[in-house]
Amino acid sequence: MIQKNNSNNRSNLALLAFLVLPSLLIAQDFDAVQITTIPVRDNIYMLQGSGGNIGVSIGADGTLIIDDQFAPLTGKITAAIAALTDKPVTFVFNSHFHYDHTDSNENFGRAGAYIVAQDNSRKRMETTQVLANGRVQEAYDEVGLPKITFFDAMRFYFNGEPVDVVNTGSGHTDGDAQIYFREANVIHTGDMFVRYGLPFIDQNNGGNLDGMIDALMNLASLIDDDTIIIPGHGQLSTRNDLLDYRAMLVVVRGNLVRSKVQGLSVAEMLATEPATGYAPANAGTADWLTRAYNEYR
């Protein structure tokens, strides 16, 4: 009886949390978020708040940003940019479609910015998606969708330098874009490269481990040792950091493929601890390894 009541209470609470709490919690979280401005090089800056790192190029032509975090933060992001320049945001590049990089799209679109993304990212933002971690991302209104898309590469000339927007292959999703400021020698990698351990790979939306490893080598050959990398999440980095991260993925993939060849079940694969030394042995790591393991047949 007690057990039954407990479980009823728990499911009622869970339902309540699902219906009511997220918006409240999110609102409180975003109230507390501060936007930090970090100079990168020349006229390029990085903004950190909540969600993906924002790249900013300021200059005579206007303001170009890469990614725009969460909609409740648009005002704070705009204020941080206004402290750097009086020019409005002309272009918003989306490194990919995930909400923590694109949720301010509708606000910036309404304010007149042109949103730019890889073809598949626009397609995914047109309809509701379920991410590989189970998170549901609702479709955006037309005003929040990219007006300009590309397939594998295009070049802008903006604020005195060529700005290359490239897709180095499917990896994190099937619509990733990296934005390379040629003159400043600064690249924003989106979530193809992050600084939090095993990277989220969205297998539901075209992401895959092999693709990420290949794309990272393509990226490494695009840049040099003097390049400053703005990663999707985390601190400014170098080409060596990117190669270390790629090496981690290669080792973990090797362990997974060895288990697959041996015909191990998921539980047996997990027991071999394929990510030892790279990621803590917790539920998140187990989920990551399971999703990656299931990529191989």
Which residues of this chain interact with Zn ion, rule CB under 5 A? 98, 191
Beta carbon nearer to Zn ion, 58 or 73: 73
Beta carbon nearer to Zn ion, 161 or 191: 191
Bridge partners (DSSP) of residue 165 are 154, 179
How far, in Å, CA of 189 to CA of 192, rounded? 6
State the minimum distance, in angstroms, from the CB of residue 69 to Zn ion: 12
State the minimum distance, in angstroms, from the CB of residue 139 to Zn ion: 17
Beta carbon nearer to Zn ion, 172 or 239: 172
Which two three-digit tokens encode residue 246? Answer: 């790629």
State the minimum distance, in angstroms, from the CB of residue 96 to Zn ion: 6
Beta carbon nearer to Zn ion, 159 or 208: 208
Beta carbon nearer to Zn ion, 106 or 191: 191
Which two three-digit tokens encode residue 31? Answer: 């109230």
Closest residue to Zn ion in the complex (CB)? 98
State the minimum distance, in angstroms, from the CB of residue 159 to Zn ion: 26
Beta carbon nearer to Zn ion, 109 or 199: 199
State the minimum distance, in angstroms, from the CB of residue 40 to Zn ion: 21
Beta carbon nearer to Zn ion, 171 or 274: 171
State the minimum distance, in angstroms, from the CB of residue 51 to Zn ion: 9
Which residue type sits at 12? N
State the minimum distance, in angstroms, from the CB of residue 105 to Zn ion: 14
